[in-house]
Structure formats: C-alpha cells, structure tokens
Amino acid sequence: MNEFLTFILLSLFVVMSPGIDTALLTKRTISDGKGDGFKMALGITSGSLVHTFAAAFGLSAILMQSAAAFEIIKYVGAIYLIYLGITSFLTKKENKVEEVDQRAVKRSAFKQGLFSNVLNPKVAIFFLTFLPQFIHAESGAAKQLILMGMIYTLLSITWFFLYVFFINYLRTWLTTPKVQGWMEKATGIVLIGFGLKLAFEKQP
C-alpha cells in the first residue's frame, strides 16, 4: 500500500510539473477555447497510453538499446515541437481569409497533443524507467505496467482538464491582443526551447 501511495504522489508531481504538455495546453486553450484544450489533453494522455503499452511489451526498450531508433524518433519529435513553436510567431490573418473546415481544425487539437507525446522518446524512457520501480516480481510485469500506466493517464487527464478549465476561466483577460501576443511568443519560445533540448538530448 505504501508503494502504491508513493507511486500516486510521485505521478501527481510529474503530471503537475510544467513542461511541453503545459505549454501546448496553454497555447491551444487561449487561442481556440476549452473545447480544443480538452481535445488536446485527450491527445496527450492517449500518447501516454501508447507509451504504456510500448513499455509493457518491450518496444520502448528498443529506444534505449538502439541508437538509430532513438535518434530518428528524437529528431522527428524535436522538429515537430520546433514547428509548433515557430507557428506561434506567425501573424494570424484576419477573418478575410477563406474559412477552413472547422471539423479539421478540431481534429488537429487531438493530433497535436498525440503526436507531441508519442514522438518524444524521453516520455518512452520515463515510462520504462519510472513505472518498473513499483513492480512486484511475483506478479505479471506487463499487467502491472499497464495498470500503473492507466492510473498515470487517469491522473494526467484529470489534472489537464482542471488546468484547461482554469486557463479558459481567465481567457477573457488572456485573449486581449497585448496579453495574447505575449503568451503566444512566450509559449512559442518554450516549445522551441524544448524542441532544441530534445534534439541535443543524448541517449541514456
């Protein structure tokens, strides 16, 4: 029981720590509202489930053993984050531009969250190194990893939804031209910074 409580507390600490997910959720919620913020949160946590099953069935171990696999996924993920950051600096055109398919826009929020999580090898390594610390050798490792991964995902989606709700509550103030411009640039710098950090991250 003590190990389980330790796992919960440590997971909460990790989930609530500011990072790439926080930057993406802040940017998307401010620009497009809580609906897209919730969808991005679902995308991010879906990525956590992907890493959970990958860790449970040994796929993540390949990233730790294969330098080539690690490098490929690392650079793809880094480029994607840098791309998201750069788009924050691009001036948004007025409503004179042709309207885009709103359903496609809504789907992209989920995809952005999913891809940013799945394409980050550090997340895979985190799941492969953090979760096994709480595994009992006498029980099935894969089942325990999946269970803990699902608990971690549940904690994540709960916190992300609360965070999006809070950000959306302040959206009227945050969406004023001056504040929004500052926030767009700030989150853009954060995303580019994380992307560059990921690109230069060495294989453990």
Please state the domain extents for the chain: 2-8+19-199
Query: Who wins on pLDDT, 44 or 60?
Result: 44
Give the pLDDT confidence score for residue 103 in this predicted structure: 46
Q: Residue 160 pLDDT more than 90? A: yes
What percent of the chain lies above the pLDDT cut of 70? 76
Query: Who wins on pLDDT, 33 or 186?
Result: 33
The crossing angle, in degrees rounded to 10, of helices 20-32 and 141-169 is 40
- 3-state secondary structure at position 96: coil
Give the pLDDT confidence score for residue 45 in this predicted structure: 94
Give the pLDDT confidence score for residue 203 in this predicted structure: 55
Residue 112's nearest CA partner among 185, 47, 18 is: 47
Letter for the amino acid at 20?
I
Of the pLDDT bands very low, low, confident and very high (cuts 50, 70, 90), residue 174 is: low
Q: Counting beta carbons within 10 angstroms of the beta carbon of residue 84, is it exposed (0 to 12), middle (13 to 18) or buried (19 or more)?
A: buried
| Other residues' Cβ atoms within 10 Å of the Cβ of residue 148 | 24
Q: Residue 13 pLDDT more than 60? A: yes
